[in-house]
Amino acid sequence: MAPPRRAVRRDASSRLRAPFTVRVLAERLSGKSPFEARYYRESQLTRLANLVAHVDLEPWRSMKVLEVGAGLGHLSDAFAQLGFDVTSTDGRPEHVEAMKARGRKAFVLDLDKAGVDEAGDFDLVLAFGVLYHLAQPEQFLQSCGRCAKVLLLETAVCDAADPVIKWISEPGGWRGKDQALSGQGCRPSPAWVEKTCRDSGFDSVRDISSPVGNWVVGAFDWEPKDTGEWRRDGVNLRKMWVCEQTS
């Protein structure tokens, strides 16, 4: 008797992730920054590809861009190369110093302690992979609504139909260099994100998630089942939105 199809998919997924897990561990133990690891660069490239596949960036070219939770600022490097005026922030001073050493405009910003509206005058906020590392995600989105015309938002989520948040403890130490500053993260449901963005002033909230953004441990084309899980078969469930204040 053949094994169930779901079990076959899980076994295939596990075989693909096994060498990936070994590679990640080797890169972490080597002392390499997680933002320079191959798996992280893959995630950045696929997310950027998903964005440009669904959005015409040209109407935003005159906007001042603030990247939050930048890590080493590789995503905003792409925006800068396209001619955007980009400033990057991160909660860890060593990451900010690394960006400055490359000639990038950057400063320290802990999003659990200060809103983006306190950072200066910016029109577009680029928030890829940071919301789910926050202990105060609602306050962050509200601060975006107070200052930005456009919010480009990507985050890990949980599979729930209702507007809810699952709170997660995230690792610290050498394992936590790309995780929550406070050790407290979250996995909001897509409904929670969209409701909170609209309540924060973004009257257009467009889900642009697609398989273009998938990588080994991140999926955007997952099937909603209302299970509450935020990881399925070892792969994180993620979403990407374009939020705009059009009025």
Q: What are the pLDDT tens digits along the chain (247 aa)?
A: 545 544 444 444 444 454 545 555 555 555 567 777 787 889 999 999 999 999 999 999 999 999 999 999 999 999 999 999 999 999 999 999 999 999 999 999 999 999 999 998 999 999 999 999 999 999 999 999 999 999 999 999 999 999 999 999 987 776 767 788 888 999 999 999 999 999 999 999 999 999 999 999 999 999 999 999 999 999 999 999 999 999 8
Architecture in CATH for domain 33-244: 3-Layer(aba) Sandwich (3.40)
What is the pLDDT at residue 202?
98
What is the pLDDT at residue 38?
82
Please give the DSSP secondary-structure letter assigned to residue 150. Answer: E
Residue 93, beta-bridge partner list = none
Tokens of 197: 């963005």
Tokens of 103: 């000639």
Tell which residue, 137, 85, 93, has the closest CA to residue 116. Answer: 137
What is the pLDDT at residue 40?
80
Tokens of 145: 């609504």
Tokens of 89: 């922030």
Neighbours of 5 (CB within 10 A): 8
Q: CA–CA distance from 179 to each of 34, 173, 175, 232 (Å)?
A: 10, 10, 8, 20
Task: Write the CB contacts of 130 (distance below 8 Å, at least 6 apart in sequence).
Answer: 68, 69, 111, 155
What is the pLDDT at residue 8?
40
d(CA 235, CA 196): 25
What is the pLDDT at residue 32?
61
Q: Scanning the structure block, which residue is given the tokens 């509206």?
A: 117
3-state secondary structure of 178: coil
Task: Write the CB contacts of 183 (distance below 8 Å, at least 6 apart in sequence).
Answer: 169, 170, 171, 172, 176
Tokens of 82: 């396209």
Cβ contact 69:130 at 8 Å: yes
Tokens of 207: 């889900």
d(CA 65, CA 124): 5
